[in-house]
Amino acid sequence: MKIFQIEKPDQGIRPALIDKINNLVKPKGSLGTLEEIALQVGLIQQTLTPRLKNPQNIIFAADHGIVEEGVSKSPKEITWQQSANFLKGGAGVNFFCRQHGFRLKVVDAGVDYDFPSGCGIIDMKVRKGTRNYLHEAAMTHQEMEQCIERGAKIVRESNTEGCNIISFGEMGIANTSSSSIWMHCFTGIPLQQCVGAGSGLDDEGIRHKYDILKKSIENYKGDGSAEDIIRYFGGYEMVMATGAMLQAAELGMVILIDGFIMTNCILAASRLYPDVLSYALFGHQGDEAGHKLVLDALRVRPLLNLGLRLGEGTGAICSYPIIDSAIRMINEMDSFAHASITKYF
């Protein structure tokens, strides 16, 4: 599998960043989370004057074999229909991208549909949907490696285009099922607490979903390694997003994490390369059961809690103005010394 060079940002600049933030014309710590964000982005970019440039949101789309077991309320064809709809500009993620100046890219990672050539969807299809992991591995080792590399490739292209802050979204009916299994396997949280309504299951539907996922885990005969769990239970779009996150970290980009599914992708990425978390800002705590628990397991605090559960990167993009405010704070606020104001704390 592709090897990434990911290390925690050099901490040598930390004292200077803290000193600059503490000497802005405000009581020390009075801008709370904005100060924490400015420090983290300054460390990522290794500068006292961090900048946000050309933000992009990448949506990876793919189908899941487990959908055959009735674990989702939404029909499978929604994956390709909504993927095509993103290009028309009328989806939820579209107005957020327009509002906050994000470029949107839609990637076919493994949709069970033939998109017409030149439609605007980036073709990185590995296969027309994963296999049903109730009975067999979702993907082969080769397919997993293809997903990691193709996710990394799209991020390298975005970085070449001048993007230094990137968010990821997903489209794939039944991908909350795969996310729930990753969460359970990587955190040890009981499976029942990891399984939620997804696109709108009722209590009976959630019980059925839990039963199918429990049987899938019982049928698993792999080696239990992070790579094998990712391969066996993952979706093509999820593994591609995982590779994208790892590449973004290697390139020193700021990674904005969206909801339940993308949080579990950064969780998976962190089981391969723990230092990837140093580059991540968690935009939103979604309404899916288990999301708060996985955020707690990662020991991170989301910037927003708006009850969203749409996915697509919407929660991450919603948080962007807060990050922008943090960067404006460190760059645009005057210092006590320059403003000739006596420190009043």
The catalytic residue positions are 312
Quote the CA–CA distance of 272 and 99 in Å, as a whole number: 35
Buried b (16+ CB within 10 A) or exposed e, 13-48: beeebeebbbbbebeeeebeebbebbbbbbbbbeee
At position 327, the amino acid (one-letter code) is I
Quote the CA–CA distance of 143 and 147 in Å, as a whole number: 6
Q: Is the dihedral of CA 308, 312, 313, 318 positive or negative?
A: negative
Place of tokens 């080769």: 142
Look up residue 22 and give its two tokens: 């503490």
- The answer to whether the beta carbons of residues 322 and 37 sit under 8 Å apart is yes
Q: How many CB atoms lie within 10 A of CB 118?
A: 6
